[in-house]
Amino acid sequence: MRPGSALSRAVAGAAAAALVVAGACPFREARASPPKIVLIGPGTAASVADRLKTELTALGFEVVEAAEPEQPGAGRELETVGRSLGAAAAVRLVPADGSAEVWIADRATGKTLVRERVAPQDAGMQSDLVVSVRTVELLRASLLELDVPPEPPVEPPPPPTRGEAVSDRAGAGNSAKRASQPVEPPVRGREVVGVELGTGLVASPGGLGPAPALLLGAHWMPSAVIGASVLAVLPPFTSTVEDKEGAAEVRASLASGGLRIVLGSVQSRWVNAWELGLAGEWLHVAGAANPPFRAHTTNLFTWGPYVRAGAGFALGTHARLRSDLLVGAAYPRPVVAFAGREVATWGRPCVVGSLGVEALLR
């Protein structure tokens, strides 16, 4: 199109009006400031530049003219100039062939959205009009997709009062301190008192057979690891030893007390416990003699150290199934004699195996 042509001015005006009606005005409403478009190298293409500037301004764009780069055709001069001026798009007019180079940037991601060369379809009086209309359409279609209303400004909160400021600083300091400190393992729970009831076998090598026994025990734990314990072993049945002189029934009982050590958390399902201490031992011996021998009944008392080890399996919060083994020694060693002849001994060592239930009072 040549300046002064009535036909070209009519077509350009109609194209601009059509673009306005098509809905480009939301640019002006959606943004606090209109998108900026850089127009490079008006120079000899003043007619196209004026037309583009008029139509883009009518659509709500801010048009900024810039001089031709010192090294045109370097490949990224459009992008460089556009980004340096904070523009959403840049258009460079090429007077040699009547075309226009269009660069459009996505300002949200910083990436190039469109880079296209708009060339006239044919030479002649309509070429300027075609280039300007196609350039405007390309800009409008591409930038309309990027037109997102800006988020409303966030108003700063009112300054806190003196009390709130102190509280906030203390809370922030505590949070930072908790974040910087290493996470410690949970503290093991404490058993205050435990009561045990169980059954087992009492055995000792030396001539007396094993005998069933009833076990009663208790422990007190002032801490989670170390405490005190007591235990009583009461055999309801006796062990028997026989020879030509007659027979003897022996009933062995124990009462012990000592130190209790718990390995592992008492709140875990499995708990190991060790007990170390002293035990008092009582043997009741009742004889039955064959003639011409005479029988008599006696009680033997002795004492000695013991160690007891066991494991407990939690049945609930306050109950545990226990299995234990006690090993001790008696000093002096009790001896069963027939007519002055040793027929059995007891207590070196003595062994008590048990299975029972433990109730925990916390």
Predicted confidence at residue 306, as pLDDT, reads 97
Which fold is adopted by the domain 193-361? Porin (2.40.160)
Predicted confidence at residue 155, as pLDDT, reads 57
Residue with tokens 């008392």: 301
By DSSP bridging, strand 62-66 and strand 36-40 are parallel
Q: 159: which residues sit within 8 A by CB, 6+ positions away? A: none
What helix, strand, coil percent values describe the chain, rounded to 5? 25, 45, 30
CB burial string 214-249: b at 16+ within 10 A, e below: bbebbbebeebeebebbbbbebeebbebeeebbbbb
Predicted confidence at residue 84, as pLDDT, reads 78
Predicted confidence at residue 108, as pLDDT, reads 55
Beta strand segments in 80-205, E: 89-94, 99-106, 111-118, 193-204
Put simply, whether the predicted model's pTM sits higher than 0.75 gets the answer no
Predicted confidence at residue 17, as pLDDT, reads 37
- Which DSSP string do the residues of 45-84 spell out, in sequence order? GHHHHHHHHHHHHHTTPEEEEEPPPSSTTSSSHHHHHHHH
Q: From CA 231, how far away is CA 276, in angstroms rounded? A: 11
Predicted confidence at residue 251, as pLDDT, reads 92
Q: 223: which residues sit within 8 A by CB, 6+ positions away? A: 190
Q: CA nearest 217: which of 63, 98, 326?
A: 326
Predicted confidence at residue 213, as pLDDT, reads 94
Q: Break the chain into its structural domains and give their ranges.
A: 6-145, 193-361
Q: Does domain 6-145 have CATH number 3.20.10.10?
A: no
Per residue of the chain (362 residues), give pLDDT as tens: 444 344 344 334 433 433 333 333 333 444 456 777 777 765 545 677 777 788 878 877 788 887 766 655 544 566 777 777 777 777 777 665 656 677 676 555 556 656 666 666 554 445 667 777 777 777 777 666 555 444 445 556 666 665 554 455 555 555 545 544 544 444 445 567 999 999 999 999 988 889 999 999 999 989 888 999 999 999 888 888 988 889 999 999 999 999 999 987 666 788 899 999 999 999 999 989 898 888 889 999 999 999 999 999 988 888 999 999 999 999 999 999 888 889 999 999 999 999 999 998 86
Q: CA nearest 105: which of 134, 73, 135, 81?
A: 81
